[in-house]
Amino acid sequence: MRKIALLTVGVLAFEIALPALAAAQSLHTYVSGTGAGTLCSLAAPCATFQNAHDKTTAGGVVTCLDAGEYGPVNINRSITIDCVDTGATILGTDTGGINILTGDSFPIVVNLRGLTIDGGSASPFGIAMNSAGELHIERCRISGFRNGTAAAGITLASMDGSALDVSIADTIVTHNGSAAESPDTGGGILVLAAGATRVVLDRVEVSHNFPLGIGATAFGTAPSALALRDSAVVANVRNGIATSAANNGAFRVSVDRTSVSLNGGAGIVVLGASVVMIGQSTIAGNGSAFDAGGGGQIVSYQDNQTDGTPTSTVTDR
Amino acid sequence: MTLFSGAGASRLVFDRVRIQNNTDGLLIQGTGLAAANVHVRDSLVVRNTRNGITAARTATVFVDHTSASDNGAAGILATAPGATVILGGATITRNGTGLVATSGGTIESYQNNQASGNDSDGLSPLTLPLK
């Protein structure tokens, strides 16, 4: 009889807990600069992205209702943070701005829209993707991430055996990287490809970073690609675009209708078994236009405005 | 917009900027021996009452896929020793004069610009090859 009573209590407790769990997360949550809610509902928005993330089911959406500083966020699931035209900001801390980390190879999809992410010179990265899946960044500004030996505005690291697909559009990445601590690492956008990695930049400005504007390194045998289109990689302290490959890896990079100018070092650097294709682009006014070594190639479609000489050419078809 | 570049080296980037309805559009001037490097891309320099883009000091100004149009005097003016304006994929039209180089300034072209339809198209620039 006592066993039956205990079982009944247990079942009742379980039934009570189910609705509580269901209410704890929802597909659509909200933040507001004046928010003080805990459920992150439209009626009671939360004050921070982290609270909203934690209250959002995988695949859900966090919407900014108005301007505010919503704090850094650790993302561990598929999610969209949509703040276009609201004045939403994140001030990075000593642990970074947006850290996307699942801890396993299960692919996720993360969309970030309309964010100003500021490091205040005391934060190591604006956005770090250390998971498999997809990351799409639109209409964001990432600046001032200067703390640490590999400080960067955006760090994209794929895992061995997993694919990573990234697009960045209508975004400014400026004044990142540490001059004091990272003479050879850090910068605006860093791609560290251990698995198959594809990155597309469309209408992106990468400027005044240290030392690199864009660094792309392939560590594994999976093919990786970086495509720039209608973008500007300008006035970075050292190299504009630097690619390298190790362990039989290779990056294929296309630079299409893009300006790579006024960088203090080389405009484009290719080291190892990587190829950079340039078309309808301007590579001028850098310390030097091109630097290719270790079998790296810079191939031109012969329609570029440049004060340098590519390693080889191909004709339009 | 007037840029006074002093004795130190200067790097200036204009990306998707509209410079419109001013006296001078973009005027780069100042003293000093170090060159100013200026890159103007995907921008509009239009309807200014005098010149569109002026290099009036030692400078290299790259006018990259940019329109300098409907300006009252010159669309592009290089007017100092060491002042070089490089045109690539640019449109220079409906200005008083398209291209003007005086006082030791030079204008160079990648031969892929639309520089016509001005009251006077002005000089024929030095040519650079596409690569």
pLDDT of residue B30: 81
Contact B131 A205 (CB under 8 A): no
The string of pLDDT tens digits covering residues A150-188 is 899 999 999 888 999 999 999 999 999 987 655 567 999
The pLDDT of residue A27 is above 50: yes
Answer for the pair A173, A142: CB distance below 8 angstroms, yes or no. yes
Give the per-residue pLDDT at B31. Answer: 74
State pLDDT tens for residues B43-96: 999 999 999 999 999 999 999 999 999 999 999 999 999 999 999 999 999 999
pLDDT confidence band for A297 (50 / 70 / 90): very high
In a mutational test of the B interface, the residue from A230, A263, A305, A311 whose CB has the highest number of chain B CBs within 10 Å is A305
pLDDT attached to residue A291: 97
Q: Which residue has the higher pLDDT, B81 or A6?
A: B81
- Which chain B residue lies closest to A263 (C-alpha atoms)? B11
**DSSP-derived 3-state class of residue B39:** strand
Tokens of A71: 């704090």
pLDDT in tens, A58-106: 999 999 999 999 999 999 999 999 999 999 999 999 999 999 999 899 9
- Cα–Cα dist B12/B108, whole Å: 19
* Residue A23: pLDDT over 60: no
Query: Which pLDDT does position A220 carry in this prediction?
Result: 84
The residue among A192, A187, A183 whose CA lies nearest residue A175 is A187
Instruction: Check if A282 contacts B (Cβ < 8 Å).
Output: yes
Residue B7, pLDDT > 70, answer no
A205 touches B at CB < 8 Å: yes
Mean pLDDT along residues B16-25: 96
A259-293 tens-digit pLDDT:
999 999 999 999 998 999 999 999 999 999 999 99
Chain B touched by A127 (CB under 8 Å):
no
Q: Do A282 and B41 touch (CB under 8 A)?
A: yes
pLDDT of residue A248: 77
Q: Please indicate whether, in this complex, the C-beta atoms of B41 and A300 are within 8 angstroms of each other.
A: no
Residues of A in contact with B39 (CB under 8 A): 234, 259, 261-262, 282, 284-285
Task: Identify the pLDDT of residue B5.
Answer: 60
For B105, other C-beta atoms within 10 Å of its C-beta total 23
* Tens of pLDDT, residues B102-123: 999 999 999 999 999 999 999 9
Percent of chain B with pLDDT over 90: 85
Share of chain A above pLDDT 70, in %: 91
Q: Looking at CA atoms only, how far is residue A100 from chain B in angstroms? A: 31
Q: Which are the contacts of B68, defined by CB distance < 8 A and separation ≥ 6?
A: B25, B45, B46, B52, B53, B75, B76, B90, B91, B92, B95
Quick check: A288 contacting B, CB < 8 Å? no
What's the confidence (pLDDT) of residue A110?
98
Whether residue A259 contacts residue A232, with contact meaning beta carbons closer than 8 Å, is answered with yes
Tokens of B127: 């040519």
Looking at per-residue pLDDT, the higher value among A138 and A15 belongs to A138
What letter would DSSP give residue A96? B
Tell me the residues of B at the A interface, defined by beta carbons under 8 Å apart.
Answer: 11, 13, 15, 37, 39, 41-42, 60, 62, 64-65, 86, 88-89, 110, 112, 128, 130-131
Give the Cα separation of A230 and A252 in Å (integer). Answer: 18
Mutate to test the interface with A, among B13, B60, B126 (most CBs of A within 10 A): B13
Q: Looking at CA atoms only, how far is residue B73 from chain A in angstroms?
A: 27
pLDDT band at A20 (very low <50, low <70, confident <90, very high): very low
Comparison of pLDDT for A53 and A9, the residue scoring more:
A53
**Is the model's pLDDT at A8 over the cut of 50?**
no
Distance of CA A108 to the CA centre of its chain: 14
How far is residue A128 from each of residues A67, A98, A192, A216, measured CA to CA in Å? 23, 6, 11, 14
Residues forming a β-bridge with A270: A243, A292
Helix (H), strand (E), coil (C) string for B72-129: CCEEEEECCCCEEEEEECCEEECCCEEEEECCCCEEEECCCCEECCCCEEECCCEECC
Query: What does the pLDDT read at residue A242?
Result: 96
Query: What is the amino acid identity at position B88?
Result: G
Q: What integer pLDDT is reported at residue A153 of this predicted model? A: 98
Q: Is the pLDDT of residue A303 over 80?
A: yes
> Is the confidence at residue A217, as pLDDT, over 80?
yes
Closest CB to A305 among B13, B60, B130: B130
Q: What distance in Å separates the CA atoms of residue B76 and residue A299, rounded to the nearest whole number?
A: 32
Please say if the pLDDT value at position A130 is more than 90. Answer: yes
Pairing of strands B74-78, B97-101: parallel
Check pLDDT > 50 for residue A19.
Answer: no
| pLDDT tens per residue across span A43-57 | 999 999 999 999 999
**CA dist list (Å): A27 to A68, A266, B29:** 22, 47, 57
Q: What is the rounded CA–CA span in Å between residue A176 and residue B115?
A: 39
| Mean pLDDT of chain A, nearest integer | 91
Is residue A113 pLDDT above 70, yes or no?
A: yes
Phi-psi region of B23 (alpha: psi -120 to 50; beta: other; left: phi over 0): alpha
